[in-house]
Protein backbone atom coordinates (compact mmCIF):
# COMPACT_ATOMS: atom_id res chain seq x y z
CA UNK A 1 0.00 0.00 0.00
CA UNK A 2 1.37 3.42 -0.93
CA UNK A 3 2.66 5.46 1.97
CA UNK A 4 0.68 8.52 0.88
CA UNK A 5 -2.57 6.62 1.47
CA UNK A 6 -1.94 6.52 5.23
CA UNK A 7 -1.37 9.69 7.25
CA UNK A 8 -1.24 10.21 11.00
CA UNK A 9 -1.87 13.67 12.41
CA UNK A 10 -0.18 14.05 15.77
CA UNK A 11 2.71 15.32 17.84
CA UNK A 12 5.69 13.43 19.25
CA UNK A 13 5.05 14.25 22.96
CA UNK A 14 1.42 13.03 22.92
CA UNK A 15 0.84 9.66 24.62
CA UNK A 16 -2.42 9.30 22.70
CA UNK A 17 -0.64 9.74 19.37
CA UNK A 18 1.92 7.18 20.53
CA UNK A 19 -0.86 4.60 20.77
CA UNK A 20 -1.56 4.93 17.07
CA UNK A 21 2.15 4.89 16.18
CA UNK A 22 2.77 1.70 18.18
CA UNK A 23 -0.23 -0.03 16.59
CA UNK A 24 1.01 0.90 13.10
CA UNK A 25 4.50 -0.33 14.01
CA UNK A 26 3.14 -3.66 15.25
CA UNK A 27 1.47 -4.14 11.86
CA UNK A 28 4.61 -2.89 10.00
CA UNK A 29 2.58 -0.18 8.26
CA UNK A 30 4.39 2.74 6.60
CA UNK A 31 2.68 6.11 7.05
CA UNK A 32 3.21 9.85 6.79
CA UNK A 33 3.50 11.53 10.19
CA UNK A 34 2.11 15.06 10.09
CA UNK A 35 3.23 16.88 13.22
CA UNK A 36 0.87 19.49 14.62
CA UNK A 37 2.47 22.55 16.22
CA UNK A 38 1.97 23.41 19.88
CA UNK A 39 -0.80 25.97 20.28
CA UNK A 40 -2.19 25.71 16.75
CA UNK A 41 -4.37 23.37 14.71
CA UNK A 42 -3.80 22.73 11.03
CA UNK A 43 -6.60 23.02 8.50
CA UNK A 44 -6.21 19.31 7.79
CA UNK A 45 -6.80 18.51 11.47
CA UNK A 46 -9.87 20.77 11.69
CA UNK A 47 -11.31 19.18 8.56
CA UNK A 48 -10.47 15.64 9.65
CA UNK A 49 -11.76 15.91 13.22
CA UNK A 50 -14.38 18.68 13.26
CA UNK A 51 -16.05 17.31 16.41
CA UNK A 52 -13.15 17.25 18.89
CA UNK A 53 -10.50 19.08 16.84
CA UNK A 54 -7.83 16.96 18.56
CA UNK A 55 -5.00 14.60 17.69
CA UNK A 56 -4.48 11.81 16.88
CA UNK A 57 -6.27 11.37 13.57
CA UNK A 58 -5.48 8.48 11.24
CA UNK A 59 -6.32 9.11 7.58
CA UNK A 60 -6.61 5.92 5.56
CA UNK A 61 -7.62 6.21 1.91
CA UNK A 62 -8.74 9.79 2.62
CA UNK A 63 -11.07 8.64 5.42
CA UNK A 64 -10.34 9.98 8.92
CA UNK A 65 -10.48 7.87 12.08
CA UNK A 66 -10.35 9.72 15.41
CA UNK A 67 -9.70 8.89 19.09
CA UNK A 68 -6.61 6.92 20.04
CA UNK A 69 -8.09 3.60 21.18
CA UNK A 70 -10.57 3.58 18.30
CA UNK A 71 -7.59 4.04 15.96
CA UNK A 72 -5.78 1.10 17.60
CA UNK A 73 -8.84 -1.12 17.11
CA UNK A 74 -9.22 0.07 13.52
CA UNK A 75 -5.58 -0.69 12.72
CA UNK A 76 -5.98 -4.17 14.20
CA UNK A 77 -9.05 -4.88 12.07
CA UNK A 78 -7.97 -3.13 8.85
CA UNK A 79 -4.63 -4.98 8.73
CA UNK A 80 -5.72 -8.33 10.12
CA UNK A 81 -2.83 -10.19 8.47
CA UNK A 82 -0.29 -8.79 10.95
CA UNK A 83 0.08 -9.72 14.64
CA UNK A 84 -3.19 -9.34 16.55
CA UNK A 85 -3.47 -6.42 18.96
CA UNK A 86 -6.82 -7.15 20.62
CA UNK A 87 -7.29 -10.55 22.30
CA UNK A 88 -9.09 -13.15 20.18
CA UNK A 89 -11.21 -14.41 23.10
CA UNK A 90 -14.36 -12.27 23.60
CA UNK A 91 -14.03 -12.23 27.40
CA UNK A 92 -10.34 -11.33 27.30
CA UNK A 93 -11.17 -8.60 24.78
CA UNK A 94 -13.87 -7.18 27.07
CA UNK A 95 -11.51 -7.20 30.07
CA UNK A 96 -8.82 -5.41 28.07
CA UNK A 97 -11.32 -2.72 27.06
CA UNK A 98 -12.51 -2.40 30.67
CA UNK A 99 -9.01 -1.71 31.98
CA UNK A 100 -8.20 0.60 29.08
CA UNK A 101 -11.27 2.66 30.02
CA UNK A 102 -10.13 2.67 33.66
CA UNK A 103 -6.71 3.96 32.62
CA UNK A 104 -8.19 6.83 30.60
CA UNK A 105 -11.04 7.70 32.95
CA UNK A 106 -9.42 7.22 36.37
CA UNK A 107 -5.68 6.55 36.39
CA UNK A 108 -4.35 9.06 33.85
CA UNK A 109 -6.37 11.95 35.34
CA UNK A 110 -4.58 11.20 38.63
CA UNK A 111 -1.21 11.39 36.91
CA UNK A 112 -2.05 14.60 35.07
CA UNK A 113 -3.54 15.97 38.30
CA UNK A 114 -0.09 15.73 39.88
CA UNK A 115 1.18 18.43 37.51
CA UNK A 116 -1.74 20.69 38.42
CA UNK A 117 -1.62 20.09 42.17
CA UNK A 118 -0.91 23.16 44.31
CA UNK A 119 0.79 22.56 47.65
CA UNK A 120 2.35 19.51 49.26
CA UNK A 121 -0.91 17.97 50.48
CA UNK A 122 -2.51 18.14 47.05
CA UNK A 123 0.59 16.63 45.44
CA UNK A 124 0.70 13.82 47.99
CA UNK A 125 -2.98 13.05 47.37
CA UNK A 126 -2.38 12.88 43.61
CA UNK A 127 0.66 10.62 44.09
CA UNK A 128 -1.34 8.32 46.36
CA UNK A 129 -4.03 8.01 43.69
CA UNK A 130 -1.45 7.12 41.03
CA UNK A 131 0.11 4.47 43.29
CA UNK A 132 -3.29 3.04 44.26
CA UNK A 133 -4.08 2.73 40.56
CA UNK A 134 -0.83 0.88 40.00
CA UNK A 135 -1.80 -1.65 42.68
CA UNK A 136 -5.05 -2.37 40.81
CA UNK A 137 -3.20 -2.57 37.50
CA UNK A 138 -0.60 -4.91 39.03
CA UNK A 139 -3.42 -7.32 39.86
CA UNK A 140 -4.87 -6.90 36.37
CA UNK A 141 -1.46 -7.56 34.84
CA UNK A 142 -1.16 -10.85 36.72
CA UNK A 143 -4.54 -12.02 35.41
CA UNK A 144 -4.27 -10.71 31.84
CA UNK A 145 -0.66 -11.72 31.19
CA UNK A 146 -1.14 -15.25 32.54
CA UNK A 147 2.50 -15.32 33.60
CA UNK A 148 3.89 -13.92 30.36
CA UNK A 149 5.74 -10.67 29.61
CA UNK A 150 2.85 -8.46 28.51
CA UNK A 151 -0.81 -7.82 29.25
CA UNK A 152 -1.34 -9.27 25.77
CA UNK A 153 0.69 -12.40 26.54
CA UNK A 154 3.83 -13.09 24.53
CA UNK A 155 3.65 -9.78 22.66
CA UNK A 156 2.35 -6.25 23.09
CA UNK A 157 -1.42 -5.99 22.86
CA UNK A 158 -4.26 -3.52 23.30
CA UNK A 159 -3.93 -2.99 27.05
CA UNK A 160 -0.14 -2.74 26.84
CA UNK A 161 -0.55 0.12 24.38
CA UNK A 162 -3.28 1.78 26.47
CA UNK A 163 -1.07 1.98 29.58
CA UNK A 164 2.42 1.93 28.10
CA UNK A 165 1.93 5.14 26.14
CA UNK A 166 1.96 7.05 29.45
CA UNK A 167 5.33 5.72 30.67
CA UNK A 168 7.22 8.68 29.24
CA UNK A 169 5.06 11.18 31.11
CA UNK A 170 5.22 9.00 34.23
CA UNK A 171 9.01 9.32 34.19
CA UNK A 172 8.71 13.07 33.70
CA UNK A 173 6.42 13.28 36.74
CA UNK A 174 8.87 11.21 38.78
CA UNK A 175 11.81 13.37 37.72
CA UNK A 176 10.12 16.74 38.28
CA UNK A 177 8.78 15.73 41.71
CA UNK A 178 11.77 13.70 42.89
CA UNK A 179 9.69 10.60 43.62
CA UNK A 180 9.26 7.01 42.44
CA UNK A 181 5.67 6.27 41.46
CA UNK A 182 6.18 2.88 39.79
CA UNK A 183 7.82 1.00 42.66
CA UNK A 184 9.35 -2.38 41.83
CA UNK A 185 9.00 -3.43 45.47
CA UNK A 186 5.21 -2.87 45.49
CA UNK A 187 4.38 -3.61 41.86
CA UNK A 188 7.14 -5.91 40.55
CA UNK A 189 5.08 -7.21 37.66
CA UNK A 190 4.38 -3.75 36.27
CA UNK A 191 7.95 -2.59 36.83
CA UNK A 192 9.32 -5.50 34.81
CA UNK A 193 6.62 -5.05 32.19
CA UNK A 194 7.50 -1.35 31.77
CA UNK A 195 11.12 -2.17 30.95
CA UNK A 196 10.13 -4.82 28.41
CA UNK A 197 7.51 -2.55 26.86
CA UNK A 198 9.91 0.36 26.35
CA UNK A 199 12.51 -1.96 24.84
CA UNK A 200 10.14 -3.52 22.32
CA UNK A 201 10.86 -2.87 18.63
CA UNK A 202 7.39 -1.37 18.10
CA UNK A 203 7.91 1.12 20.94
CA UNK A 204 11.54 2.13 21.40
CA UNK A 205 11.71 4.51 18.44
CA UNK A 206 8.51 6.39 19.37
CA UNK A 207 8.94 6.57 23.17
CA UNK A 208 10.30 10.06 23.92
CA UNK A 209 13.53 10.43 25.89
CA UNK A 210 12.79 11.52 29.46
CA UNK A 211 15.05 14.60 29.35
CA UNK A 212 13.59 15.79 26.05
CA UNK A 213 10.03 15.26 27.27
CA UNK A 214 10.83 17.04 30.55
CA UNK A 215 12.03 20.11 28.64
CA UNK A 216 8.83 20.05 26.59
CA UNK A 217 6.78 19.77 29.80
CA UNK A 218 8.46 22.88 31.20
CA UNK A 219 7.63 24.81 28.02
CA UNK A 220 4.05 23.55 28.13
CA UNK A 221 3.57 24.48 31.79
CA UNK A 222 5.06 27.93 31.18
CA UNK A 223 2.77 28.50 28.21
CA UNK A 224 -0.26 27.59 30.34
CA UNK A 225 0.93 29.86 33.16
CA UNK A 226 1.25 32.77 30.74
CA UNK A 227 -2.08 32.14 29.03
CA UNK A 228 -4.83 34.72 29.71
CA UNK A 229 -7.69 33.55 31.93
CA UNK A 230 -10.77 32.27 30.09
CA UNK A 231 -13.45 34.85 29.40
CA UNK A 232 -16.63 34.61 31.43
Extents of the domains making up the chain: 3-78, 90-215
Using DSSP's 3-state secondary structure scheme, residue 232 falls into: coil
Identical fold between 3-78 and 90-215: no
- The CA distance from 58 to 158, in Å, is 17
Cα 153 to its chain centre, rounded Å, is 19
Number of DSSP helices (H) and strands (E) in the chain, helices first: 10, 4
Task: Classify strands 32-35 and 63-66 as parallel, antiparallel or unpaired.
Answer: unpaired
Q: Please give the chain's pLDDT, 232 residues, in tens.
A: 444 589 999 999 999 999 999 999 999 999 999 999 988 999 999 999 999 999 999 999 999 999 999 999 999 999 998 899 999 999 999 999 999 999 999 999 999 999 889 899 999 999 999 999 999 999 999 999 999 999 999 999 999 999 999 999 999 999 999 999 999 999 999 999 999 999 999 999 999 999 999 999 999 888 776 767 655 5
Fold of 3-78: Glutaredoxin (3.40.30)
Residue 39 has a pLDDT of 86
At 211, phi and psi to the nearest 5? -65, -45
Overall pTM surpassing 0.75 (yes/no): yes
Question: 203 with 164: CB under 8 angstroms?
Answer: yes
CATH number of 90-215: 1.20.1050.10
Residue 227 has a pLDDT of 66
- The CA distance from 101 to 96, in Å, is 9
Question: 122 with 177: CB under 8 angstroms?
Answer: no
Residue 4 has a pLDDT of 52
Where do runs of H (alpha helix) occur along 58-187?
A: 68-78, 90-102, 108-116, 120-145, 158-164, 167-177
Question: 27 with 20: CB under 8 angstroms?
Answer: no
Length of the chain: 232
Instruction: Residue 30: count other Cβ atoms within 10 Å of its Cβ.
Output: 11
Amino acid sequence: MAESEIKLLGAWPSPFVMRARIALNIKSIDYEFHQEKLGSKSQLLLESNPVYKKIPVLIHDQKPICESLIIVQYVDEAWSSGPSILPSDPYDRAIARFWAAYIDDKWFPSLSGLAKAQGEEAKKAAMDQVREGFLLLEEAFGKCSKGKDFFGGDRIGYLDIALGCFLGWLRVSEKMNGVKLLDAAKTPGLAGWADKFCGDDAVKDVMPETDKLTEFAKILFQAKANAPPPAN
